[in-house]
Structures are given as structure tokens and as C-alpha cells.
Structure 1
Amino acid sequence: MHSDQPIQHAVILLHGLCGSGLEMGSIPKALRKNGCAVIELLIPNYSAGHVDPDVTPHWEDWCAVVDSEITRLKANFKTVSICGLSMGATLALAVASRSTEAIAIVALSPVLRYDGWSIPWYQHLMQIPFFLGYKNWSHKEGEPYGIKNFDMRRRVANALKKDGVAAVGAAAIPARQLRGAHLMMAYVRKSLKKVKTNILVIHAIDDETASPKNPELILEKVSSEMRKVIWLGDCYHIITVDNEREIVTNETVQFLMKNIEMHLKDISYRELNNHSPLKDRRG
């Protein structure tokens, strides 16, 4: 796309739970280079720095923010797509199960259950204190921070210690946000058949947070006409900044650009067929 042409295509980026745009790595820059407007959404009681410690969020409110942004963008752009990482990918699926306004979804390391190899067996019991009224605790992130690359992991650990947030997300996730995430995951697991948007899933085989069962369930259940999965062999959960980050960026951009092209061709074809036929002027 030429830089002097008006930008006609928007991509919403959804980072992980209590994270920031840092998690998306080089994807924003690559999308802009390909002529897309990039919208890095900050969602109340979801995004880092926008969490009220006294509020227990509803995942429907997170969806409502994305839905509202899609509506706003549709008034100004020919297409809107969504690219989400981790719980952001799950949020994208939740939105797509209720709306077909986005033409494509890229789900990076989607989480339908916390069932990766680093998740302790008692993880599901961590919701019990919440039900008993103990809501002001947090789950602290620890090694390997979703990253297989040792040097990157060391830098992330230092950033988390210094700033409380890094390319892997926040140093700790409050129980209230975790509760919202669990409810959203349960909804998405039951609603995958309602997803009709074309989808690309990119997932690490050794993902320590979400096992390969997560993308397998998505690909099996969604109703999307185009569905594709790419497996990575040298990453953990935060694939956007790990060893195979260039593959992730390239495949994400290629998939979105292909869907934009397909959508525009479909519009042209439909417009051509909708023209009134020429009247027969013989006789």
C-alpha cells in the first residue's frame, strides 16, 4: 500500500490480562508499514494502569469496549480486524461470538483454560478464597515469565522488578481480574460455534500457560470458513517477543492482509452483481 493513499483498514490489538501494548512486539510497526491503522486499546479494569482495585470487572464490559471501538472504526475504515494475545485472544473470540463486524481474527496463544505445564495442579482451587470473600490478593508472575529466550527473560525480570510491567504483562494479576477472565473463558468454551470470523491461531507447543488443547478446541469448534493454526517449537507463552517472534509478526500480517484483499474483492464482486441489468431496447 502506498503511503500517500488514505488508510482504509484498521486493526485492533488486544494485549493480555493486566498487560500493555509492549506485549505485541513488532506487530504494530509491521501493520503500520503495510498501510493499516493500529488501535492499541486500553480497557478499564483490564489494561495495566487502568485497574481499580476495588472493582470486580465483568468480562461483558471488556467486550463492550471492543464492540464500541469496532462500531466507531467501521464508520471511518473499510475493514476492521482484531489481533489478540493470551487473554486478549480469548477476548477477541468472545467479541466474535457475538458480532461478525470484524473480518478476521489472529489469536496468539489463546487461553481457554490455564492448563500449561507450569500451572500448579491446585490452580483451580485458587478461586475458593474469592468465593469466601477474600478478593484483595494477587497472583504474582514468576519464571519463566512466558519466555523461553534466556536473555529476554532476564530483561523482563528486571523490568518487572523496576516498573511492575514489561513485555510479558504485569508483575501480578489481581484476583478480581482473574475472576473475570475465568468467567470469560467459560463463556468462550461454550460459544465457539458462534464464531464465524476467519481466524488464524498461532501457539507454542511448549506453552507453559495454555496447553495445545486450547487451539485444538478452537479449530475444532469454530464455524469460521477460513481457520488456520501455526505451531511454534521454540517459544513459550509470549510468542510475540520470544525466539520465533519474526514468524509470529510475518504470519499475522500476511493473514490479515490476505483477508483484507479477499474482503475487498468480495465487495467488488457483489457491487458488480448488484448493478441493474441493461434494459433490452430492441423492438
Structure 2
Amino acid sequence: MDSQSSTDSSTLVSEARNDDRHGGPHKDHAVILLHGLCGSQLEMGSIPKQLKKAGCTVIPLTIDNYSAALTNPRVSPDWEAWCAVVESRVARLKEEFRTVSLCGLSMGATLALAVAARSKDLLSVVLLSPVLQYDGWSVPWYWKLLTVVYDMGFRNWSYKESEPYGIKNYEMRRRVAAALEKDGVAAVGAAAIPARHLRAALRMIAFVRKSLPLVRTDTLIIHSIDDETASPRNAEVILQHINAEVRKVIWLGDCYHIITVDNEREIVTNETVMFIKRSIEIHGNELSRKYLGHSSPLKDRRH
């Protein structure tokens, strides 16, 4: 449900208008930011700042039983409720803005895909280190057994984050480790993810894998070839199975999973902003997405 304890309260659109709306050619575009599972907006790095500089309105969304500050380890979350919060926000923003995009990191990217498969109201989606399978080189061999343990009824446990915390940069990793020890959350997310939240995320992944052909909105994927959490195969599967006419993938070679704060963070930020601006220029200034749904295919097909 679209609960009041999430930051999707009824006052947010007006707050965005007063505080975050910028002038310029992209002032009629809103971007919803989706951090990783049990994480926070710290994960998004400099992307919010640069999107605002580009004239977009930025909506840093937090969600009940998804975001770190709103997580209850004893509650069994529902991934469809996560989607419903995002979809509700998109619908409200569409009343205020001409176009809306989603930008998600890690499981936030998977959540963005789930919404894109269920909605025709999005201009574009940016998928940063999307996860369709936990198959990176640091994932422990016993990972798949955890779901078996959960389904057997043992549910009061958490999956603890460990080195390298999704970050290749040593100095950043050291600071993250200190923040996790002190506060339990850092730029890479939470120190531990409750079993119930992991199970809900896996159910969402199952839906997304089946629903990729329903994704038709402009799509940018940025993924590291050395991602320790989700291998490059995750990005390849998405690229192969979505039906977006405009699609693009960027491969990174000097970072791990949390690409927004690692060695190539500037590339990630710049490519994200440029892709969204280009989608606005192609679609947003002349036509609504409803009209585009009935128009001829775009000539600029990217692979």
C-alpha cells in the first residue's frame, strides 16, 4: 500500500515543486531514485545533484519494508507493495510533470524493471548494476541453500554484508566498513539484510525475469564486468529480452557492484544524466508517452 510512513506523502509533489524543480529545457521531467534493498539514498552518489543541475526534478523515494530507515525485520514484505508505492508516485507525478523516469541501483534497478513491465507511463529507466540473479564472484556457495532454509520455516536471520562491500576503491571501502560498524548503514546500504526481505526480492526477480518482454521504455544499463554480486550475465539477459526500441549498455572495468560511489562514479553519473536528457529531447518536448505508444518505431535502435 502507498503508506503515509513512506516519503511518498501527499505533500511531496508540492514540495518538489517548491524545492527541487529547476528551470530550463528539462523542468517538466521528474526522476524517481530507487536505492538498493534495505539501503538508503546515500547509495545514489552524485546522481541527484547532477540531475538537478540538468533541470530535472528529483524524487528520492523511500519505501516501507524496503528502505533501511523503514525496515522491520519481523515483517514479511511484499514486493508488489513496493511496486505499488512507485506506481502511485509515478501516477501523481504525471499529473504535475510531462514525463517521468526511474533510476535504480542494484535491487532498486530490479524494482524499476518490475514497474516498467507493469506501467506505460515512464519515459525511461536507468538500471545501475541490476540483479536478476545473485551470481557474482563473491556470492558464497551456500547462497541458494538460504531460500531452502527460509522455506523450511527458519526466518529470523539476516544476510550480513562483508568485504569488499561492493566497492573496489580501497579508501572508500575502508570508510564504508567504519560507517557500517558505527551506524549499521552506509553508502553501500545496510550492514545486514533480513531473510524476509531477501525472499521478497527473489520473488520480485522471478516476476521480472518472466516479464522482461513487457518492458518497452527507453532503457540504459550500466554494469561492471567485475561485479562481485551480479555477474555481467544479468545485464546481458535484460538487454536481450526487453522490447525497448532505445536501449543501451555501458560496461565498466574498474569497479564492483556499487558503481555510483566506486572508481568510475563520474562516468556512471554523466551517462545517467545524458541518457535521461536525450530521452527527454527525443520524446518529452513534443509528444506524450501515450501518443508514442501508437507511433512508428524509433529509428535509433541501440544494442
TM category, shorter: over 0.9
Q: Give me the whole-angstrom Cα distance separating, in 1, the residues matched to 2:145 and 2:207.
A: 19
Q: Give me the whole-angstrom Cα distance separating, in 1, the residues matched to 2:117 and 2:109.
A: 12
Per the alignment, residue 236 of structure 1 pairs with 256
Asked whether the equivalents of residues 26 and 277 of structure 2 are also in contact (C-alpha less than 8 Å), the reply is no
Aligned length, in residue pairs = 270
Per the alignment, residue 99 of structure 2 pairs with 79
**Is residue 172 of structure 2 the alignment partner of residue 189 of structure 1?**
no
**Is residue 84 of structure 2 the alignment partner of residue 46 of structure 1?**
no
Q: Give me the whole-angstrom Cα distance separating, in 1, the residues matched to 2:33 and 2:168.
A: 23
| Structure 2 counterpart of 1:214, one-letter code | N
Please list every run of at least 4 consecutive aligned residues from structure 1 whose deviation after the TM superposition is greater than 4 angstroms: none
Asked whether the equivalents of residues 38 and 68 of structure 2 are also in contact (C-alpha less than 8 Å), the reply is yes
| Structure 2 counterpart of 1:105, one-letter code | V
Alignment of 1:82-231 (within 5 A): 82-231=102-251
C-alpha offsets along residues 170-216 of structure 1, whole Å, 9 cap, x if unaligned? 00000000000000111111110010011000000000000010000
| Structure 1 counterpart of 2:113, one-letter code | L
Asked whether the equivalents of residues 24 and 55 of structure 2 are also in contact (C-alpha less than 8 Å), the reply is no
Shift of 1:52: 1.8
Per the alignment, residue 276 of structure 1 pairs with none
* Distance change in 2, residues 1:112/1:5 (3 Å): closer
Bigger CA drift: 125-134 or 5-14?
A: 5-14
Shift of 1:2: 7.1
| Structure 1 counterpart of 2:215, one-letter code | V
Q: Give me the whole-angstrom Cα distance separating, in 2, the residues matched to 1:76 and 1:256.
A: 18
Q: Give me the whole-angstrom Cα distance separating, in 2, the residues matched to 1:256 and 1:2.
A: 15
| RMSD of Structure 2 on Structure 1 (CA) | 1.7
Q: What's the TM-score, normalizing by structure 1?
A: 0.92
Aligned residue for 1:49, secondary structure, equals helix
Q: Give the gaps of 5 or more residues in structure 2.
A: 1-20, 292-303
Q: Give the gaps of 5 or more residues in structure 1.
A: 272-283
C-alpha offsets along residues 221-256 of structure 1, whole Å, 9 cap, x if unaligned? 000000100000000000000000000000000000
Shift of 1:159: 0.4
Per the alignment, residue 273 of structure 2 pairs with 253
Aligned residue for 2:261, secondary structure, equals coil
Asked whether the equivalents of residues 33 and 103 of structure 2 are also in contact (C-alpha less than 8 Å), the reply is yes
Per the alignment, residue 33 of structure 1 pairs with 53
